[in-house]
């Protein structure tokens, strides 16, 4: 089936179907496209569209295991449109208990009549078989909807129970996290608009909204009075402790959320440079900063792993939010879990090269903050430990007690209620040339 560009979805299930078709054809989760369908949906359909779209994307492995258990043919022989319709139907049968089973089956059959007419009888038969209650998959990775290699890696690192809790957390839909501009009075404006915003229990300055609707409709959006950023991202900037008058480098800055937070949390007055690798990413960064009135930031294109002479020992603070596997943000980007093991194998070498280069930009007495949004130890503590072993001029420094009292914090999503981040704060005790 050809991807339905420009179509307007009639209801939640059709919106989910269009988005899953787009995902298959484009190769990455099309979040912006998914949300672009919302204005054409009746308001009552939007929460269900969100639930089905993200839920199916998160649990494809689980859903396919159930389909496979009752299917008369291999899934490779099922046409893509029919398979996506089956996933939508099975997800409702297994995970949306408030939807009657008959409704889950009937609405899926209607989708099949419209988009996979040759497979209507097959879709109907499979869904009725699943509705009757096939056995649950025996393997944890199938039940949790994660690739087998990733489940095994998490279990080896964290143990069965912690790994299982993380994988189940990854399948939940996160609340919207709003970071207000200081002094904007946003909390009162949200309350006046009838929008319930709850402070995050661990990270001050973060407001959690369960049912936000469209972000662009929130009070303060047009004025740039808030930024959307996970509590863990704010925590990373808090750990950096930017101060007025400091010279600061945000070395891997796009799309710019942490750059904005650096400015806000410092109270202003930073001499701020923001860099990223490619021109397109720099353009995105510039657009973000312009929206928040930060045109004075020096935006530059540059490879964070390649030495730039003019930056040598020039900064009081360097934020190294390095490229990583992203396995700490699966809850928000469900397709990340489907990366192959080979795709992420070389990341620690890249991260170590970036950290080693950026260390040369820190003034004696300055701070280097290493940040990832992954939960894998080889991208986190192992990279920092290797760095400290060869760069004796740096030492770990406690921050945000008691969370980072040994100079590093591994944010664990089920425990902390936020994305999985790793944050390490390192103090440069003397000049590089003195070592």
Q: At what angle do helices 101-115 and 12-26 cross, to 10 degrees?
A: 50
| Cα 261 to the center of its chain, rounded Å | 17
393: tokens are 């001029």
DSSP-assigned states of every residue in 126-177: HHHHHHT-PPPPSSHHHHHT--HHHHHHHHHHH-HHHHHHHHHHHTSPPPEE
State residue 300 phi and psi, 5-degree precision: -140, 150
State residue 185 phi and psi, 5-degree precision: 65, 35
**Long-range Cβ pairs for the range 158-163 (8 Å, 24+):** 162/412, 162/414
| H/E run at residue 43 | none
Q: Which of 206, 252, 373, 435 is catalytic?
A: 373
Residue 373 appears among annotated catalytic residues = yes
CA dihedral 17, 18, 20, 25 (to 10 degrees): 140
- Give the residue numbers marked as catalytic: 373
């Amino acid at each position: 089936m050809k991807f339905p560009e420009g179509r307007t979805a009639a209801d939640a299930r059709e919106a989910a179907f269009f988005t899953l078709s787009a995902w298959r054809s484009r190769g990455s989760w099309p979040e912006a496209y998914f949300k672009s369908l919302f204005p054409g949906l009746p308001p009552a359909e939007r929460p269900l569209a969100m639930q089905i779209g993200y839920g199916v994307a998160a649990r494809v492995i689980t859903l396919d295991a159930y389909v496979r258990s009752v299917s008369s043919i291999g899934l490779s022989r099922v046409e893509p449109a029919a398979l996506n319709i089956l996933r939508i139907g099975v997800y409702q049968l297994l995970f949306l208990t408030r939807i009657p089973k008959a409704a889950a089956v009937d609405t899926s059959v209607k989708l099949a009549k419209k988009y996979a007419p040759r497979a209507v009888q097959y879709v109907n038969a499979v869904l009725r078989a699943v509705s009757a209650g096939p056995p649950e998959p025996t393997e944890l990775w199938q039940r949790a909807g994660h690739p087998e290699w990733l489940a095994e890696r998490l279990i080896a690192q964290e143990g069965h129970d912690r790994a299982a809790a993380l994988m189940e957390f990854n399948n939940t839909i996160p609340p919207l996290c709003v970071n207000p501009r200081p002094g904007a009075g946003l909390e009162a404006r949200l309350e006046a608009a009838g929008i319930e915003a709850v402070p995050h229990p661990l990270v001050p300055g973060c407001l959690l909204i369960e049912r936000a609707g469209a972000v662009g409709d929130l009070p303060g959006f047009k004025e740039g009075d808030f930024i959307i950023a996970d509590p863990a991202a704010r925590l990373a900037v808090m750990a950096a402790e930017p101060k007025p008058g400091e010279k600061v480098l945000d070395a891997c800055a796009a799309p710019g959320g942490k750059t904005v937070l650096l400015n806000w949390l410092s109270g202003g007055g930073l001499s701020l440079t923001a860099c990223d690798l490619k021109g397109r990413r720099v353009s995105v960064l510039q657009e973000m900063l312009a929206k928040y009135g930060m045109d004075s930031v020096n935006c530059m294109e540059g490879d964070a792993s390649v030495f730039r002479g003019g930056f040598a020992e020039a900064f009081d603070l360097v934020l190294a939010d390095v490229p990583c596997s992203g396995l700490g943000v699966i809850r928000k980007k469900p397709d990340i879990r489907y990366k192959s093991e080979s795709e992420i194998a070389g990341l620690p070498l890249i991260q170590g090269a970036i950290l080693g280069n950026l260390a040369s930009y820190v003034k004696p007495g300055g701070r280097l903050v290493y940040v990832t949004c992954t939960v894998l130890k080889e991208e986190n503590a192992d990279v920092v430990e290797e760095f400290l072993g060869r760069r004796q001029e740096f030492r770990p420094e406690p921050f945000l007690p008691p969370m980072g009292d040994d100079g590093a914090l591994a944010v664990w999503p089920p425990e902390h209620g936020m994305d999985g981040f790793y944050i390490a704060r390192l103090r440069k005790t003397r000049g590089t040339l003195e070592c």
